[in-house]
A and B are shown apart, each in its own frame.
Chain A
Amino acid sequence: MTAKHRILTLAHGHPDHTMGGAEVAARDLFLAYRDREDVEDAWLLARANLGAGPRGRISNLRENEFLWEQSLSDLFFMRAQNRHEVTGYFTEFLQFLRPTIVHSHHYFQLGLEHLRAIKRADPSIVTLLTLHEYLAICPNMGLMKSPHGKPCRSGRYFDHIACNPETSPEALWLRKHRFERYFDFVDLFVAPSSFLMERYVEWGIVRQRIVVIENGQPGTPVRGREELDEKRIRNRFGFFGQINEHKGLDVVLRGLASLSETQRQSIVLEVNGANLERQSRALQRTVQELAAPLMREGVLRWRGPYERAELDDRMASVDWVIVPSTWYENSPLVIQEAYARGRPVIASDIGALREKVRHGVWGHLLPPGDAQAWARHIVKVAGDSALWDKLAVQLPTPPGISEAAEACLSAAVSAGAAR
C-alpha cells in the first residue's frame, strides 16, 4: 500500500486578500486536494502583505491555510525581497509540514528562489508549478508584447530580445538564466492551455516536463439550462473581469459607439468589470467617455465588480459572454464559468482563446482590436436567437475542480516516478 499524499499548495495571493483568477484557482485546488481520500493532509500557503512589509514570516490564517509575508525586490529577475527567510521560515515550514508534493501556483510575489528551497529542504518532494502567465518568457510583464505594444507570438528568447531593444541582451540572458536554473527544481509544469504550453516549449522547457491541465470549476454550477427552452431574444452581452488596456473593453465600446442609435438599441452590454480606477488616466477617460452616452441610451449597464457568490446572478442576466482581449491570455476563468452556466462566448481570435472557444460551436472568434467587426457581430447575433439556442446546447462541460485535482495528482505521481 502506498503512503498517502501530503500536498502543499503555494499561491502568490489569497482570495481573502487579493482576488484574481490564479489565487482563486489555487485555493480551489487546495480544497479539492484536501477532500481526496488518498490525501493525508493538504495546506495552502499564500503570499500576503499584512502591512508590515516582507518580513518573511508565515502565519496561520485558518486551519491548514497559511500566509507568507513575502514580496519581490526585483520584478525583472523575480527575486524575492526576503531571501533570508526563503531558507529560514519557509524551509522550517516545509520541515514542519513534511509535504510529499508541493504545487506552486506562481513565483510572482514569492520569488523564484523558493523552488530550489523546496528541493533543498527535501529532495524527495515532487514539485509542480502551474504557469498562469508568460512572465518567464516575456520581460514586459508577461504580456507577450513589446513595450510599444507589438505582439511577440513566439516563446523563443531571441524574439524577445528583438521585442525589447531597450533592455540589453545580456540582462535578458541573465533573466532567462535565472528562470531556467530555478525551474530546474520543478519536476512538472502545468499549463492551463496548449497555447501557453507551446510557448514554454519554444522557450526551452522540454515537452516531457509540461502537461496541459485546465483550471477546474468548483462546486456544481447553476447551469442556467432551464432557460434553454425559454424562447426569447438573446441580445444581452456580458463582460466579466479586469478592465485594462489588454482586455479590450474599450474596443467593444468604440464599436458600439460607431453604430447608429437604432442599431444599438437592439442590444444590452453589461459590464461586470473591476479595477478601472487602477488603470492609466488615458484608458479611464476613454472608457468613461465612450460609456456615458451608451449608458444614457440604456445600451450599456455598468454593473461594476462582483463577489464570487454573485457570479451566478450576473451571468444569468446575460446571454453571451464576451472576451475581447487584445493579448494572448492563458485560460481565462470566465470562459469556463460561462460554459458552466450555459453561456456561449464571443472571444478574440488570438492566443489561447482560439482553443478555449471553438468557433461556430461554443461561440465565435472575432479579430482582436477590430471595433467595427465586434459591433457588427454583436448586433448580428443579437437578432438570431436560433443561433444562440444551437450554440448553448453544444457547450462543453468544463472540468470540475476535483477532476483538475485528480489530473494534477496523477501527473505529479508519474513525474515523481519518472525522476
Chain B
Amino acid sequence: MKDEGRVRLAEPADAQAAPLRYEIDGSVGLVKIDHAISTQGVTFVAGWTSDGSLLVELASASGVTGADLVRTVRDDVASGLRQPATNRHGFVLIATPPPDEPLNICFGQQEARFCLPLTVIENFQLDARISCAPGTFAALSARRVGSRDWRLFLSLLPERETSGLIVEGIIDVAYSSPVEANGFAQGWVTHKPDTLVWIEDDQGRAHDLEEGYRWVRRDVRSQIHHLPGPGQETGFHLRTRFHPEARSIRLAAANKDGSQRLAARPVSHLPFEAKEVVAALAEATTPRHDLPARIRRVDLPVLAAARASEREVWASAEIRERMVGSVPSNPTVSLIVPLYGRVDFIEHQLLEFDRDPAFIQDVEIIYVLDDPDLENPLHFDAHRMQAVSGPGFRWVTTGENRGFSGANNLGASVARGRVLCFMNSDVFPLAPGWAIHLAEVLDRHGDLGMLAPRLIFPNGSIQHVGMVARWRPEWQLFTNHHPSMGMPTSADPSHGLTRVPLVTGACVALPREVFERIGGWDEGYISGDFEDSDLCFRVRDIGRTVGYDPRVELLHLERQSVELTSDDALLKERMTLLNACRYNQHWHEQVREIAE
C-alpha cells in the first residue's frame, strides 16, 4: 500500500478500474469512479465513496477547478456495503476546467487527501448519462431556464420515455404573438417531487412554470392518481415570450433521473389588438377569487406588451378628418366626444347644442369615431343628422378602436380650444351655457387642473357628484365609487365649486396646458374604467386640484354601470378588473391616501 503521510492507498491506485481502498488516519474506505467524461467543455465525473462525507474535488495544473459536487443516494452501493440507503454514497462532479490540461481527482478531508490522475473520455454513453444525471440535474436547476448553459445541461440529461414517468400535463390554452415575444399558456401539470417543469417552443425558448401563476386544480387532483402531489399546484397560467416563429409548444420536465418532453401542441396566434387579447386571456380560467394575483403576474404584462405594439401602429396611423356643416374658427372650448357602438346619440346631443349660442363661436365639437364598423353609417348619416338637428362638427377617425383613452387623446390632438372638455356620447346638456361655465370656472381658479359637472339620470336622480375610492375587500383593490348615486339631487352636499378627490370622465374639462403637461389619458388602460381616476391622479401629481361644480348639470344615460360583483358580462367584468389591477398598481399610495 502506498503511504502518503496520513493517507495510505492500495495498489494499483486506480479508482476508475475498480473500487480503490484507502486509509486516512487509520480509517479505511473505498472510492470508485464510474465515469469521467467530457462534452462541449463540461467535464462530468460520477462515482461513489463508502464515506458519504468524503471531500471530492477536481484539480488541474492551475489549481483546484471550481466544480459542482452533488451527492446522491446509491442503492447499489448501500446494499453492497450493508449501510443504510439514506447515506449519500454517490457523487457527481461537474466542472468546466481549462482545456487541454491533465485533470486530477482528489478525495479526502481538509488536511489529508489523495489525488489520482483522471482519464477523461469524450464519449457520452447513455449509461454515463444516467450515472451523471443527478449532477447534471443539479447543474441544470442552478441555471436560468432557457439560458444557454441550461440548454447545455439539459442536452446532457438522458431523455426518458413515458415508461419512467416524470411529468404529465396538458396545455389547455396557448397564445403566442407572431410578431413579437409575447403570449401566455395555461394548463395543468403534475410531476414527481424535486422536478423542474417548463414549457418550451420549437425554437428553443423555454419558461419555468414557477414563473407563472399556479393554483390547485381540483379537477386534475381527482383524475390523476399515479403521480404524487396532494395539494400540488397543478394549474399554471404563464406569461410566455416564445419566438414569433414558434408554431408549437410543449411541456417538459427534468429531475435527477433525466428529462421528459410531452407531446407538442400548436400555438394560437395572440391577437394584435389588446382588447382582443383580453378576450383570449379570458379563455384561461383560474379561481375567480384570486384573479388579481393572476392578473398582476400574467395578464397585465401580456397586455402591456400588446398595447405597446398597438400604440406604435397608432402613432403612424393617418388621421381622417371630416367637416360636417360649418364650425367655429377660433373656439375657446373643444368638446371631444368618442363614439363607440352607436352614433344616433349625435342627433340628441346636437339638438341640445343647437339651443346653446356658445356653440356658434366659442365651442367646437369633435366626434372621435372609435368603432371601425360605424365608419360607413356615420359617413352617410353625419350630414343628414347635422342638417336636421344642430351645429356643425368635425369627426375624426383612424379606422381603429383605440378605447376611451386613445379616442380622447386622438380628439385632443386635433382640438383647437384652450379648454378641452371630454364628454361621453350619452351625456346630454339640460340647458345652454354649461360649456362656457366650465371654462370660466377653470379660468378663475388657477389651482384647478380639471373640473366636472353634476350628472343626473333621466329620472332626475344623482349619477355623479364626484367620485371616491372604495376598498373592495373581496378583491383587495380600490375601485371608483359614485357617492349618492340614485339619490335625489338634494342629497348632494355641494352647492358651488368643490374640490374633490376624483371625478368621472363622462364629462370633464381641463385646460389644454394641464392636459399636455400630464401627457393626456393613459392609453395603457384597455377600455372602460379607471382612465378617469387615473387622469385625476396625474392632475394631482403636478400639484393641481380636481373640482366638481354642481351648478352645471347634465344628463347621463349610462346604459349600464359595471358591477364587479355581477356574474354575467364576464368579459366586461374582466376588463374592469384588469384596469382596476393596473390602476391599483400604479397609484397604490395615492389611492390609499385619498381613501383615508
- Residues from chain B with a CB closer than 8 A to the CB of A80 are 388
A173 touches B557 (CB 8 A): yes
| Minimum CB distance partner of A184 in chain B | B355
Interface of A is mostly: helix
- Residues from chain A with a CB closer than 8 A to the CB of B385 are 83
Cβ of A177 under 8 Å from chain B? yes
Q: How far is the CA of A267 from the CA of B548 in the complex (A)?
A: 74
B388 touches A116 (CB 8 A): yes
B351 touches A178 (CB 8 A): yes
| Minimum CB distance partner of A114 in chain B | B388
B388 touches A117 (CB 8 A): yes
| Minimum CB distance partner of A113 in chain B | B388
Cβ of B401 under 8 Å from chain A? no
Cβ of A108 under 8 Å from chain B? no
B351 touches A181 (CB 8 A): yes
- Residues from chain A with a CB closer than 8 A to the CB of B384 are 83-84, 87
A181 touches B352 (CB 8 A): yes
A170 touches B458 (CB 8 A): yes
A83 touches B387 (CB 8 A): yes
- Residues from chain A with a CB closer than 8 A to the CB of B355 are 181, 184
A170 touches B388 (CB 8 A): no
- Residues from chain A with a CB closer than 8 A to the CB of B559 are 168, 170
CB distance from A193 to the nearest CB of B (A): 29
Cβ of B428 under 8 Å from chain A? yes
Cβ of A203 under 8 Å from chain B? no
Contact of B348 among A83, A86, A178 (CB under 8 A): A178
Interface readout for A165-193 with B: 1 if CB under 8 Å, 0 if not?
Answer: 00011100110011001101000000000
Cβ of B222 under 8 Å from chain A? no
- Residues from chain A with a CB closer than 8 A to the CB of B557 are 170, 173-174
- Residues from chain A with a CB closer than 8 A to the CB of B388 are 80, 83, 86-87, 113, 116-117
Cβ of B459 under 8 Å from chain A? yes
Cβ of A306 under 8 Å from chain B? no
CB distance from B161 to the nearest CB of A (A): 62
Q: How far is the CA of A87 from the CA of B458 in the complex (A)?
A: 30
A173 touches B351 (CB 8 A): no
Cβ of B389 under 8 Å from chain A? yes
B458 touches A173 (CB 8 A): yes
| Minimum CB distance partner of B388 in chain A | A113
Q: How far is the CA of A113 from the CA of B458 in the complex (A)?
A: 23
- Residues from chain B with a CB closer than 8 A to the CB of A113 are 388-389
Interface band, chain A = 10 to 19
- Residues from chain A with a CB closer than 8 A to the CB of B555 are 173
- Residues from chain B with a CB closer than 8 A to the CB of A158 are 459
Q: How far is the CA of A217 from the CA of B573 in the complex (A)?
A: 63
CB distance from A377 to the nearest CB of B (A): 44
- Residues from chain A with a CB closer than 8 A to the CB of B428 are 177
- Residues from chain B with a CB closer than 8 A to the CB of A117 are 388
Q: How far is the CA of A83 from the CA of B387 in the complex (A)?
A: 8
A87 touches B348 (CB 8 A): no
A169 touches B458 (CB 8 A): yes
- Residues from chain B with a CB closer than 8 A to the CB of A86 are 387-388
B389 touches A116 (CB 8 A): yes
Q: How far is the CA of A168 from the CA of B459 in the complex (A)?
A: 13
Q: How far is the CA of A182 from the CA of B390 in the complex (A)?
A: 11
| Minimum CB distance partner of A77 in chain B | B344
| Minimum CB distance partner of A80 in chain B | B388
Q: How far is the CA of A169 from the CA of B384 in the complex (A)?
A: 26
B387 touches A87 (CB 8 A): yes
Q: How far is the CA of A97 from the CA of B383 in the complex (A)?
A: 25
- Residues from chain B with a CB closer than 8 A to the CB of A182 are 351
CB distance from B431 to the nearest CB of A (A): 13
- Residues from chain A with a CB closer than 8 A to the CB of B348 are 174, 177-178, 181
CB distance from B434 to the nearest CB of A (A): 16
Q: How far is the CA of A117 from the CA of B458 in the complex (A)?
A: 27
CB distance from A34 to the nearest CB of B (A): 30
CB distance from A162 to the nearest CB of B (A): 12
CB distance from A89 to the nearest CB of B (A): 13
Q: How far is the CA of A174 from the CA of B355 in the complex (A)?
A: 17
- Residues from chain B with a CB closer than 8 A to the CB of A83 are 384-385, 387-388
Interface readout for A142-165 with B: 1 if CB under 8 Å, 0 if not?
Answer: 000000000000000010000000
Q: How far is the CA of A116 from the CA of B384 in the complex (A)?
A: 13
CB distance from A35 to the nearest CB of B (A): 34
Within 39-71 of A, Cβ neighbours of B (below 8 Å) are at: none
CB distance from B507 to the nearest CB of A (A): 17
Q: How far is the CA of A305 from the CA of B559 in the complex (A)?
A: 48
Q: How far is the CA of A170 from the CA of B341 in the complex (A)?
A: 15
- Residues from chain B with a CB closer than 8 A to the CB of A177 are 348, 351, 428
Within 276-326 of A, Cβ neighbours of B (below 8 Å) are at: none
CB distance from B138 to the nearest CB of A (A): 66
Report which residue of A168, A173, A182 has the largest number of chain B beta carbons within 10 angstroms of its beta carbon.
A173
Within 75-92 of A, Cβ neighbours of B (below 8 Å) are at: 80, 83-84, 86-87
CB distance from B547 to the nearest CB of A (A): 28
| Minimum CB distance partner of B383 in chain A | A84
Q: How far is the CA of A173 from the CA of B460 in the complex (A)?
A: 11
- Residues from chain B with a CB closer than 8 A to the CB of A184 are 355
Within 92-130 of B, Cβ neighbours of A (below 8 Å) are at: none
- Residues from chain A with a CB closer than 8 A to the CB of B459 are 158, 169
Q: How far is the CA of A158 from the CA of B458 in the complex (A)?
A: 10
CB distance from A413 to the nearest CB of B (A): 26
CB distance from B432 to the nearest CB of A (A): 12
CB distance from B78 to the nearest CB of A (A): 78
CB distance from B391 to the nearest CB of A (A): 12
Q: How far is the CA of A231 from the CA of B167 in the complex (A)?
A: 110
| Minimum CB distance partner of B381 in chain A | A83
CB distance from B486 to the nearest CB of A (A): 13
Within 342-362 of B, Cβ neighbours of A (below 8 Å) are at: 345, 347-348, 351-352, 354-355
Within 550-591 of B, Cβ neighbours of A (below 8 Å) are at: 555, 557, 559
CB distance from A119 to the nearest CB of B (A): 11
CB distance from A4 to the nearest CB of B (A): 31
| Minimum CB distance partner of B387 in chain A | A87
CB distance from B342 to the nearest CB of A (A): 10
| Minimum CB distance partner of A83 in chain B | B384
- Residues from chain A with a CB closer than 8 A to the CB of B426 are 170
Q: How far is the CA of A263 from the CA of B345 in the complex (A)?
A: 61
CB distance from B235 to the nearest CB of A (A): 40
* Shortest 5 CB-CB contacts between residues of A and residues of B: A181-B351, A173-B458, A113-B388, A87-B387, A83-B384
Interface residues of chain B, those whose CB is within 8 Å of chain A, are: 345, 347-348, 351-352, 354-355, 383-385, 387-389, 426, 428, 458-459, 555, 557, 559
A-B contact pairs, 28 of them (CB 8 A): A80-B388, A83-B384, A83-B385, A84-B387, A86-B388, A87-B384, A87-B387, A116-B388, A116-B389, A117-B388, A158-B459, A168-B559, A169-B458, A169-B459, A170-B426, A170-B557, A170-B559, A173-B458, A173-B555, A174-B345, A174-B348, A174-B557, A177-B348, A177-B351, A178-B347, A181-B354, A181-B355, A181-B389
Apart from A83-B388, A170-B426: 6 A-B pairs, beta carbons within 8 A: A80-B388, A170-B557, A173-B458, A174-B345, A181-B354, A181-B389
